[in-house]
Amino acid sequence: MGAPLLELNGVGFAYPASPGHRERPFRLHDLSFAIAPGEIVGVIGPNSAGKTTLIRLLTRVLAPTAGEIVLEGRPLARWSQAELARRIAVVPQGVLPRFPFTVGELVLMGRYPHAPDRYFENPADLAAAREAMAATGVLELAALPLDSLSGGERQRAVVARALAQEPRLLILDEPTAHLDLRYQAESAALLRRLNRERGVTVLLVSHDLNLAGEICDRLLLMADGRLVAAGAPEAVLEESLLGAVFACEVTVEKSATTRRPVVQLTWRVDSPNAGAAASPTANQRR
C-alpha cells in the first residue's frame, strides 16, 4: 500500500453545548484511520455514532477540535474550499432542491469547483458533465426536471453530479436509505463499477450492514463517537461485536453466492422489551 489518500490522526470534535438541546453535547473521540487510493471503505454504526459528523469533518463543513486530517499529505485546513471540492465529492441523503432544476443543470453544478469565477460552463465542463451522466446512465434524462424522476434515477443523477467534480474520493451518505430493493442492488453495482473502472476511492457511510459488507474492502465500525473496530468485513461483521454495539441480537452467516458476511437481526417481537433499541432503520441526523 502506497501513500494514503486520506489520513486521520487523533481527530476529535465536540459540538458546542446548546442549552435545552441535549443533556450531553455529542463528541467524537480520538479517531485515527487511513484510506488508501482505490479502496472502498464502509463506515457503519448505530444512530448517533458520529457518522454524519465524520462526513462534515472530512469536507471541512466542521473543523476538528483535536487532531489532524491530512489529504494527499497536506493538512485539510490548508486546502481551499474549491480545491477540496475537486478532490472530495459527497452524495448527500436524498434532499431535492426547492427549485425544479433538470438533471443536466444539477450535474453541471458539479463543475463549479473547477472554475468558480466562470459565469457559464465552457465546452470542457459540458463534456465532463455528459461523461458523468453517461457513467451513471442518466444521459437520456438530462433535460428532465429532478422531481419527475424515480428514487433510483434521482440517486444516479446526484452521483453523476458528484462524478462531474472529478473527485478522487467519493463519499456517500446513506445512499440506499430511501431506495426500493431493486434500486439498492443497482446502486451497489454502480459503486463497484465506478471504483473498478475509474479508480475512484469510495467512502460509504451506511446503516445497511449488508450493503457495506457486500461491496466494501474494509469496514470501520463506530459507536458513541469512537472507532470501535476496523478491518475486513469478515472481521468487523461479527456476532458478539455487533450485538454489543447495536444492543441487539444478530446472527452472521456467509452468503452462499458471494462468500461475504450477511447479518440478520434476531427478531423478538413477542418479548416485552423489544423496541427502539433494536430498530436499525430509524434515521437521525445531527
Partner 1 sequence: MSPAARLMTVLGVLAAILVLAGAAALFVGSAAISPRAVVSAVTGRAAPESVESVVTLSIRLPRILVAMLAGGALAVAGVAFQGLTRNPLAEPSVLGISGGAAFGVVIGQSVGFGPGVLEAAGLTVFAFAGALLAAGAVYLIAAAGRGFQIQTLLLAGVIVGIFFASAITVVISLLDFNRLGGVIHWLLGNLAPIPRGSLALFAGLAALGFWLVLTRARELNLLALGEESAQQLGVNAERLKLAIFIGAALLTASVVAFAGPIGFVGLIVPHALRMVLGPDNRLLVPASLVGGGAFLLLADTLARNIVAPAELSVGVITSFCGAPFFVYLLRTRYRASL
**Contacts to partner 1 by CB under 8 A:** 56, 59-61, 80-86, 88-90, 92, 95, 97-102, 105, 109-110, 112-113, 116, 118-120, 165
- Nearer CB in complex with partner 1: 105/249: 105
Distance from C-alpha of 75 to C-alpha of 68, rounded to nearest angstrom = 7
Least Å distance between CB 71 and partner 1? 14
Q: How far is the CB of 118 from partner 1 (least distance, A)?
A: 8
Rank residues 59 and 65 by Cβ distance to partner 1 and give the closer one: 59
| Spatial CA neighbour of 59 closest among 216, 165, 176 | 165
Nearer to partner 1, 81 or 279 (CB): 81
User: What DSSP letter does each residue of 24-36 carry, written as one string?
Assistant: S--EEEEEEEEE-
> Taking the complex as a whole, how short is the minimal distance between the CB of residue 216 and partner 1, in angstroms?
22
Pick 158 or 216: Cβ nearer partner 1: 158
Q: State how far the alpha carbon of 81 is from the alpha carbons of 9, 29, 58, 268, in Å.
A: 21, 25, 12, 48
Name the grid cell of 10: 487523533
Query: How is residue 98 annotated by DSSP?
Result: S
The distance of closest approach from Cβ of residue 187 to partner 1 in the complex, given in angstroms and rounded to an integer, is 19
Instruction: Give the contacts of 181 (CB within 8 A, at least 6 positions apart).
Output: none
Neighbours of 224 (CB within 10 A): 15
For partner 1, which is the closer residue by CB, 89 or 242? Answer: 89
In angstroms, give the least distance from the CB of 19 to partner 1: 14
